[in-house]
Amino acid sequence: MTAFENIQLEIEQQIAYITLNRPEVRNALDAKMQQELARAFDYVENKEDIRIVIIQGAGGKAFAAGADIKALHERPTLDALVPGMQGLYTKIEQCTKVTIAVVNGYALGGGCELAMACDLRIATEQAKFGLPELNLGIIPGAGGTQRLPRLIGKGRALDLILTGRMIDGVEAERIGLVNYYTTAEKLDETLASVTSAILKKGPVAVQLAKFAVNRGVDVDMQTAQWIEKLSTAVLFGTEDKEEGTRAFMEKRNAEFMNK
């Protein structure tokens, strides 16, 4: 595994922990960090034994405070058309592993968009979410104008984008931006509860459930139901389906084989 400078990648059993590690600048997402995130996700994607990826920020004050503003100021017009951060977040969203953003501080701009690209979000009382890009004369351009309304609805999304106001973890959970709100003291307990529940499920079923939801939400209902039906058909032919149903009938825990 290649060494990284601006992130840390640690593997513990079936979970990969990616830590954004530029605490001196509130984990701002410069070009190098984005490149390293892409490499880290390429690595975990090819590891069959890794089932969950957790993204967190170092330093205790920020998840990620957004993009490098100086670099953004110097970017020419045509740079907005290259994949860049938007492409990176699409890669993260399409990762076959379950991705969880742990927000224990500021998640602003590109940092908020990174959290939204993950499957689940956990926030503490120290979390602050916001999309302040309009203050810079630009818009959230790494998926923010598209993922936010899909998560919380058009009206609430426009409120947050047009005003640029920050919200805390309590409000973020209330409007559906985060899945779990907890305290910093109980964060590890909450994270362990969520990950252990996921790891007990059939690995192939988890992957296809994520695939069906992500693909189905952007198409018409008829097409979405075909995606669901085809995913179900694939699962009906797996050894995990045989094991899961047999274990249920035998009143024991299933021992899934990821095939």
Give alpha helix (H) positions in 74-217: 84-93, 110-117, 144-152, 154-163, 169-175, 187-199, 203-216
Q: Please list the pLDDT of the chain residue by residue as tens digits (259 residues).
A: 668 999 999 999 999 999 999 999 999 999 899 999 999 999 999 999 999 999 999 998 999 987 666 666 566 554 544 448 899 999 999 999 999 999 999 999 999 999 999 999 999 999 999 999 999 999 999 999 999 999 999 999 999 999 999 999 999 999 999 999 999 999 999 999 999 999 999 999 999 999 999 999 999 999 999 999 999 999 999 989 998 999 899 999 989 888 8
SS3 content of the chain, % helix, strand, coil (to 5): 50, 15, 35
How far, in Å, are 26, 104, 196, 245 from residue 202 at the CA level?
37, 30, 12, 11
C-alpha–C-alpha distance, residues 53 and 162, integer Å: 32
Question: What pLDDT is attached to residue 97?
Answer: 98
Question: What pLDDT is attached to residue 78?
Answer: 44
Question: What pLDDT is attached to residue 70?
Answer: 64
Question: What pLDDT is attached to residue 226?
Answer: 97
- Per domain, the residue ranges of the chain are 7-199, 203-249
Choice among 45, 113, 125, 228 that is catalytic: 113
Q: For the domain covering 7-199, report its CATH number.
A: 3.90.226.10
The most distant pair of C-alpha atoms in the chain lies apart, rounded to whole Å, by 64
Q: pTM of the prediction?
A: 0.93
Question: What pLDDT is attached to residue 81?
Answer: 46
> Do the beta carbons of residue 240 and residue 203 sit within 8 Å?
yes
Question: What pLDDT is attached to residue 116?
Answer: 98
Question: What pLDDT is attached to residue 71?
Answer: 64
Choice among 36, 74, 133, 239 that is catalytic: 133
C-alpha–C-alpha distance, residues 246 and 105, integer Å: 44
DSSP 238: S
113 as an active site residue: the answer is yes
Superfamily classification of domain 203-249 = Lyase 2-enoyl-coa Hydratase, Chain  A, domain 2 (1.10.12.10)
CB atoms within 10 A of CB 127: 30
Handedness of CA 112, 217, 89, 41 (dihedral sign): positive
> Do the beta carbons of residue 71 and residue 97 sit within 8 Å?
no
